[in-house]
Every structure is written in C-alpha cells, then in structure tokens.
Amino acid sequence: MPADDLGAARDTDPVTPDPSPTPPAEASRTLVFDERATAHSPAEDLLGILTGTFTASLGLYLLQTSEAVTGGTAGLSLLIQYASGLPFWLLFLLINLPFAGLAVWQKGWSFTIRTVVAIAMVSGWSVVHHALFRIDSLDPIYGTLGGNLLAGVGLLILFRHRASLGGINIVALIVQDRWGLRAGWTQMIFDVIIVATALLVVPWPNVVLSAVGAVVLNLVLAMNHRPGRYIGH
C-alpha cells in the first residue's frame, strides 16, 4: 500500500476506546475503614463510660430534684422512690439485675460487663451528686427538659462504647440489631407506658412535663444512634 494511502487509512480509522480505563485517584477512593483504626482503645472506652455515666446520672439528679420521671428502668426507679422513699441508687441496681441474663444471652459478656459497670457507676454518681451538688430550688421545666437531655446524651455516649444502663436500653438495642428499628423509637414506646403510670404517683403537671422530657431524650437517641451513623466501636 502506498505511504499516502497508509496515512489516509490511519486518519480515517475509528478510535477504539480503552475497555478498562484507569480511574483518577480521586474517583478510586472508597469509604472503607480499617477496623483496627476505628476501634476504641481500652482507655477511650473507660473515659467514655465515665463521661456517659456522669452525664446521665446528673440528668437523673435534675429529674429527682424536679420531682419528674423519665422512661426506662431509671424512670421506674424514680417512681418507686417517690412512692416508697427508698434511695434511688439502690432501686436502680435492684431493678436492673434481672436484665443481666438477657444481656449475656443476646449481647455477649463484653457488653454485659460494661453495662453492669455503667449501672454501678450511675448509682455511685447519684450518691456523689446528692452529697456535693445540693440544689435548694430548681425550675421544673428547666430541670425536666435539661435532665432528659443530659440523660439522652449520656446514653448515647454509653451506646457508642458498647454499654448501656440496662433494662429497656438492652431490649431497645436488641430490637435495633435484629429488626432495624432504631433504639430510640423502641425506647420511646416503653417510656410512654412508664410515664403514663406516673399519674398514680406524681401530680399530672409533672407527668406532662415528664412526657415532653422523655420525647427529648429519645429524639437524641433516635436521631444520633442508628446503624451506619458512627464508625467507631
């Protein structure tokens, strides 16, 4: 073939695209995280449980001072305290004991041990708050809403460090793991029942405030604790 014909052929042949082009470096990045890099260290877990229990117990202390209730075993403990006069720290320990077996069965020993430690620490912090943080007067709206907000943040911290405050928290986490229903929504269902029962023990204005506060607490959990939202463990 003449040289000029070969050149013309080269000019007119269609260009065959590369079947496997190399993507740019930016496009090849993925959201895959090293499990070891995202795991909490023992020191981080310890600090997280200390922080979570302190925050949650301070919220419960504000609720006690406001004569309000909340959901979960903490709310049940408050109700029995108002009715019987028994100390909150003792009731909180006793009510959560039956849930330890459920935690071992469904969540394993690591979660159970962390939860038992968290329950004991909330009871201990409760004694510390009463001894060192005396409150002579507290607006009930502030105390109820602020107390539930603090309790919700404390629970969120504990959940993210594979712990809980026992009771309904354990049931809510199991439901989330098995059926995908967010822990906050499950907790809210139980909390409505507990807060409604408070009508037998505390005045109805306190119950109304408590109901609003329980919604605040569970919104904190429902909006922030769900599968895929947090990569640390």
| Confidence at 4, pLDDT banded by 50, 70, 90 | very low
**What tens digit of pLDDT does each residue of 35-83 get?**
555 677 878 889 999 999 999 999 999 999 999 998 888 889 999 999 9
* DSSP secondary structure code for residue 198 in this structure: G
| Residue-wise burial string across 137-158, b where 16 or more C-beta atoms lie within 10 A, e elsewhere | ebebeebbbbbbbbbbbbbbbb
Query: With 60 as the cut, is the pLDDT of residue 96 above it?
Result: yes
Element of type H or E holding 31: none
Task: Work out the average pLDDT over 114-120.
Answer: 91
**What tens digit of pLDDT does each residue of 196-223 get?**
889 988 899 999 999 899 888 878 888 8
pTM value is 0.75
- For residue 79, the model assigns a pLDDT of 92
- For residue 30, the model assigns a pLDDT of 47
**Ranges of H-type helices in the chain:** 3-12, 35-38, 42-65, 72-84, 88-96, 99-132, 140-160, 168-179, 183-197, 204-224
| Confidence at 10, pLDDT banded by 50, 70, 90 | very low
